[in-house]
């Protein structure tokens, strides 16, 4: 679906910038705008410099930490382990991590060719004294809902430019290189086609460094993994009440602005009707792939859905309420580029998701639906 849009976008850009009558003026205007943005690269390079300095200064405490006995709390240890899972397994959300006095317990499905590297990585985490492995090892992802999608991870560490997420230093350098290529393209009047090629490469580097999203996902060629969302929120309500509300999808219009209706079918599939960009309704079907009462809830859309997505919510009681840890990946039409286009129409999914979480918190803590939720807007 996304691939036909790419040559169309390139052709449209070429027609716009190479127009015999207006092309020169349009290139000049775009060049002026880009120049003003490049003048602000000092700030980005400052971030890059601080990033490199912090990496260097961090070597000493890192070494000290590795040779010390640790002493980290179980919660900190779990966060340390989870922060490294994405580097070695293609489905980090499928791996459950618990810690008890320096002993880390792993469970959940994992692919066989990633299993050994997973254990080595966890054992190397500072503060981990022992690893207890209860993972379910699978030869392939066939028939395992939690192992659908994702991107394979090669063993070992890779150069930063080959990583899925670039550091601030890499993003600044590649962004500057892309800006230089794009400026050169806009200044190329004698060989416009050469300039267009340079501009496409430069624009790709700018978008990649700005969004910190791989180009395959920007183009919508990575399944559900177009946009990743990871949110944590604390709700002042018992974990039983929080889980029951989120597991009852029909209640979502009471705290989500764009979810107009959710219908649960007899076969367990839920049908969603959501207001998309410009208020246009978008519909899809989803299934619950994993449910552990008061602990975990996972879902994914059925194949062929307009907006493909999957996610996991973890529930942890504490501080007189419930801590929600939400991991979600979704791919709007045309990939992450579709996400950018949607923002132009007033539909920024990430920002709206933040607001929906706050409405959910208010809904549970006060017992009253938000006035700007979809259910309230219909009255």
CA distance 247 to 288: 9
The residue with tokens 């994405």 is 86
CA distance 336 to 293: 33
338: tokens are 């579709």
pLDDT in tens, 301-348: 898 887 778 889 999 998 889 999 888 877 665 554 444 444 434 445
pLDDT in tens, 13-40: 555 555 566 656 665 665 565 555 555 5
pLDDT at 92: 84
List the chain residues with pLDDT less than 70.
1-71, 149-168, 186-192, 211-227, 277-279, 331-351, 370-379
Contact 119, 81 (CB under 8 A): no
- Which domains, ranges and CATH numbers included, belong to the chain? 5-48+162-212 (no CATH), 70-136 (3.30.1340.30), 227-377 (3.30.530.20)
Q: List Cα–Cα distances, 305 to 29, 166, 286, in angstroms.
A: 40, 30, 9
pLDDT at 106: 93
pLDDT at 152: 57
pLDDT at 262: 93
CA distance 284 to 272: 5
pLDDT at 333: 57
pLDDT at 34: 56
pLDDT at 5: 43
CA distance 378 to 41: 47
CA distance 108 to 116: 15
């Amino acid at each position: 679906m996304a691939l036909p849009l790419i040559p169309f976008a390139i052709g449209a850009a070429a027609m716009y910038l190479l127009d015999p009558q207006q092309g020169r003026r349009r290139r000049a205007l775009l060049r002026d705008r880009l120049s003003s943005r490049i003048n602000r690269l000092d700030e980005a390079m400052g971030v890059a410099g601080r990033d490199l300095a912090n990496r260097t200064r961090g070597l000493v405490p890192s070494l000290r930490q590795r040779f010390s006995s640790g002493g980290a709390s179980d919660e900190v240890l779990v966060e340390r382990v989870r922060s490294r899972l994405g580097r070695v397994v293609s489905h980090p959300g499928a791996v459950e991590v618990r810690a008890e006095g320096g002993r880390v317990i792993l469970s959940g499905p994992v692919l066989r060719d990633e299993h050994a590297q997973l254990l080595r990585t966890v054992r190397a985490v500072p503060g981990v004294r022992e690893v207890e492995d209860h993972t379910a090892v699978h030869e392939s992802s066939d028939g395992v809902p939690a192992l659908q999608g994702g991107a394979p991870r090669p063993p070992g560490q890779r150069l930063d430019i080959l990583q899925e997420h670039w550091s601030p230093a890499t993003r600044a350098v590649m962004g500057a290189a892309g800006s230089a290529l794009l400026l050169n393209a806009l200044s190329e009047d004698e060989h416009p086609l050469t300039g267009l090629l340079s501009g496409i490469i430069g624009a790709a580097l700018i978008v990649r460094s700005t969004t910190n999203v791989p180009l395959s996902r920007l183009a919508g060629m990575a399944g559900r993994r177009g946009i990743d969302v990871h949110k944590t929120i604390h709700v002042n309500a018992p974990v039983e009440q929080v889980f029951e509300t989120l597991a009852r999808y029909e209640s979502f219009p009471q705290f989500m602005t764009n979810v107009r209706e959710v219908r649960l079918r007899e076969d367990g599939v839920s049908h969603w009707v959501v207001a998309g960009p410009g208020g246009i309704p978008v519909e899809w079907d989803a299934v619950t792939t994993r449910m552990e009462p008061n602990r975990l809830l996972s879902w994914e859309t059925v194949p062929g859905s307009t907006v493909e997505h999957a996610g996991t919510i973890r529930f942890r009681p504490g501080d007189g309420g419930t801590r929600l840890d939400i991991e979600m990946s979704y791919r709007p039409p045309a990939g992450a580029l579709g996400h950018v286009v949607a923002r132009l129409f007033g539909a920024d999914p990430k920002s709206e998701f933040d607001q929906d979480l706050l409405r959910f918190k208010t809904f549970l803590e006060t017992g009253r639906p938000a006035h700007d939720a979809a259910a309230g807007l219909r009255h």
